[in-house]
């Protein structure tokens, strides 16, 4: 089965998505997600100018060889643009292979290891009272696990504490600027979780995202302070370029640690996994280079008692979510799947067979990954340049967002 054409689509049904569609001489097509929030066009150029010409005439069945060809063959390896581009192609090829086999993708990966995937939703509030209420609303909807973020007294809205910063997109052409104070945050966060446990008890799993803003010793103290509230995980407590920093966190706290939504390859997580410095690896199909490397990362993690918890914010298209659901249905060391839902417009452009009910996700059982792409409808939502916010300390220093 030969690849005859590859098309790249950019659309913005609520937010920007990059979609790869691969055509074959047997009439089968497959689609993949190549979205890189805030730098979408760089991936489009990488694909159109450099990868698409390499694919025409190749055997669509040779997924592994194509992945190696694009990764090793580039000489310049890794990085978010490269890996998102490769991911879009890889997902589309797995979609084609599963359609050709007449099987849902999870069957090709090894078959179902469970009946359903626990997912977590996002609770947020301007203050503790609002956040507590937001957790209650999600529990009422059936969620068993909830990420909780709230505004910090003395600071304007912070990451994840209002809808806009969770969604990431700035409405204007330039990035929104936010303010951060580590000391105010560290005093506030334990109070937030104390209030949530008091209001909602202990049956719900609670998660929290620090968004890379602490140093290792600060993260260690936060982990200790949160131990009484038994978090499911503490996410992205520090920027993870410096993997050794996690040793310090690990030595000081029993709060489970999750990291990895910005990782691109297994090398970004090697030390973290080998030394069991983390409990959950957050890598996701689109930013890790596709389904092919996600399997290897998941198996490597499994050897070291690390479970999966794939990034599933709404800036990755439903194709990425569906790929993660199929992977999660198979992977023996599944932990949890992030789920933040999609706008109606997004779901109309990317109709799919996956579903969510009572706090759990289910894959479609038809051939492929089960997500389609409505090209005509997508044309009604042209690309809109948008940036993630940036963050500054109170003295003006640029900080991690
Ligand atoms: O900021 O997806 O856990 N989820 C997150 C997200 C990320 C965005 C970046 O594009 O941290 O909200
Ligand atoms: Co995160």
Measured from the alpha carbon of residue 316, the closest ligand is 1
Ligand 1: nearest atom to the Cα of 316? 2
Q: How much is the pLDDT for 162?
A: 72
Stretch(es) of the chain classified as CATH 3.20.20.120? 108-365
* Cα-to-centroid distance, 210 and ligand 1 (Å): 11
Those residues with Cβ within 8 angstroms of residue 287's Cβ, 6 or more apart along the chain or in another chain: 36, 80, 83, 84, 87, 261, 262, 263, 264, 311, 316
Nearest CA to ligand 1 atom 6: 313
**308: phi > 0 → left, psi -120 to 50 → alpha, else beta; which?**
beta
Q: How much is the pLDDT for 164?
A: 52
Token look-up 């993949």 returns 32
Q: How much is the pLDDT for 157?
A: 84
* Cα-to-centroid distance, 261 and ligand 2 (Å): 6
Nearest CA to ligand 1 atom 10: 37
* Cα-to-centroid distance, 234 and ligand 1 (Å): 14
Question: Model confidence over 341-362: pLDDT tens digits?
Answer: 999 999 999 999 999 999 999 9
Stretch(es) of the chain classified as CATH 3.30.390.10? 3-104
Measured from the alpha carbon of residue 160, the closest ligand is 1
How far apart CA 260 and CA 236 sit, in angstroms, is 7
Contact 339, 312 (CB under 8 A): yes
* Cα-to-centroid distance, 57 and ligand 1 (Å): 37
What are the beta bridge partners of residue 150? 125
Those residues with Cβ within 8 angstroms of residue 172's Cβ, 6 or more apart along the chain or in another chain: none
* Cα-to-centroid distance, 313 and ligand 1 (Å): 6
3-state secondary structure of 8: strand
77 Cα distance to chain centroid = 21
- pTM over cut 0.75: yes
* Cα-to-centroid distance, 160 and ligand 1 (Å): 9
Those residues with Cβ within 8 angstroms of residue 305's Cβ, 6 or more apart along the chain or in another chain: 276, 279, 333
How far apart CA 60 and CA 324 sit, in angstroms, is 21
**Quick count: other Cβ atoms within 10 Å of Cβ 312?**
25
Q: Which helix (H) or strand (E) holds 210?
A: none
Ligand 1 pocket, residue 40 CB under 6 Å = no
Which residues are known catalytic residues?
159, 211
Q: How far is CA 295 from CA 299, 326, 388, in A?
A: 6, 11, 29
Ligand 1: nearest atom to the Cα of 314? 2
Encoding tokens for residue 352? Answer: 């799919």
Contact 387, 171 (CB under 8 A): no
Question: Model confidence over 53-80: pLDDT tens digits?
Answer: 999 999 999 999 999 999 999 999 999 9
54 Cα distance to chain centroid = 28
Ligand 1 pocket, residue 37 CB under 6 Å = yes
3-state secondary structure of 351: coil
Ligand 1 pocket, residue 168 CB under 6 Å = yes
Those residues with Cβ within 8 angstroms of residue 274's Cβ, 6 or more apart along the chain or in another chain: 304
- Spell out a b/e string for 80-95, using b for 16 or more CB atoms within 10 Å of the CB, else e: bbbbbbbbbbbbbbbb
Q: Which of 143, 140, 139, 163 is nearest to 151 (CA)?
A: 163
- Which residues in the chain land under pLDDT 50? 165-170
- Spell out a b/e string for 110-133, using b for 16 or more CB atoms within 10 Å of the CB, else e: eeeeeebbbbbbbbbbeebebbbe
Ligand 1 pocket, residue 262 CB under 6 Å = no
Q: How much is the pLDDT for 256?
A: 98
Ligand 1: nearest atom to the Cα of 160? 12
What are the beta bridge partners of residue 356? 361
Q: How much is the pLDDT for 395?
A: 97
Give first-to-last CA distance, the chain, whole Å. Answer: 45
Ligand 1 pocket, residue 166 CB under 6 Å = yes
Q: Which of 280, 311, 313 to mutate to test the pocket of ligand 1 (most atoms within 8 A of CB)?
A: 313
Measured from the alpha carbon of residue 235, the closest ligand is 2
Q: How much is the pLDDT for 381?
A: 98
Q: How much is the pLDDT for 166?
A: 42
| CATH fold of 108-365 | TIM Barrel (3.20.20)
3.20.20.70, 3.90.1150.10, 3.40.630.30, 3.30.390.10: CATH of 3-104: 3.30.390.10
């Amino acid at each position: 089965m030969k690849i005859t054409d590859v098309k790249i689509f950019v659309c913005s049904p609520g937010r920007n998505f990059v979609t790869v569609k691969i055509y074959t001489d047997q009439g089968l097509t497959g689609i993949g997600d190549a979205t890189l929030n805030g730098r979408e066009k760089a991936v489009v150029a990488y694909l159109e100018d450099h990868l698409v010409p390499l694919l025409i005439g190749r055997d669509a069945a040779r997924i592994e060889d194509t992945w190696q060809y694009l990764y090793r063959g580039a000489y310049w390896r890794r990085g978010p643009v490269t890996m998102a581009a490769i991911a879009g192609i890889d997902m589309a090829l797995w979609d084609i292979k599963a359609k050709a086999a007449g099987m849902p993708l999870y069957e090709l990966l090894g078959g179902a290891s469970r009946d359903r995937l626990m997912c977590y939703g996002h609770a947020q509030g301007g203050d503790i009272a609002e956040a507590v209420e937001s957790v209650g609303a999600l529990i009422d909807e059936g969620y068993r696990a909830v990420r909780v973020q709230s505004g910090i007294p003395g600071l304007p809205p912070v990451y994840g504490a209002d809808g806009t910063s969770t969604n990431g997109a700035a409405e204007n052409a330039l990035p929104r600027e936010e303010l951060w104070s580590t000391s105010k945050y560290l005093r506030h966060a334990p109070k937030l979780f104390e209030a949530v446990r008091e209001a909602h008890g202990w049956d719900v799993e609670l998660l929290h995202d620090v968004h890379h803003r602490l140093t290792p010793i600060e993260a260690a103290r936060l982990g200790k302070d949160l131990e009484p509230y038994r978090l499911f995980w503490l996410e992205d407590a520090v920027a993870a370029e410096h993997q050794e920093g996690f040793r310090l966190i690990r030595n000081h706290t029993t709060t489970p640690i999750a990291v990895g939504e910005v990782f691109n390859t297994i090398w970004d997580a090697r030390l973290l996994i080998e030394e069991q410095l983390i409990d959950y690896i957050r890598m996701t199909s689109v930013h890790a280079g596709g389904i092919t490397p996600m399997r290897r990362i998941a198996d490597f993690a499994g050897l070291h008692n690390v479970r999966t918890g794939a990034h599933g914010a709404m800036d990755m298209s439903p194709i990425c979510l569906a790929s993660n659901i199929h992977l999660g249905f198979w992977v023996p060391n599944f932990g949890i799947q992030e789920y933040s839902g999609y706008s109606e417009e997004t779901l109309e452009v990317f109709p799919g067979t996956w579903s969510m009910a009572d706090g759990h996700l289910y894959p479609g059982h038809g051939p492929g990954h089960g997500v389609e792409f409505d090209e005509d409808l997508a044309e009604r939502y042209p690309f809109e340049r948008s940036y993630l916010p940036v963050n500054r300390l109170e003295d003006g220093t640029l900080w991690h967002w």
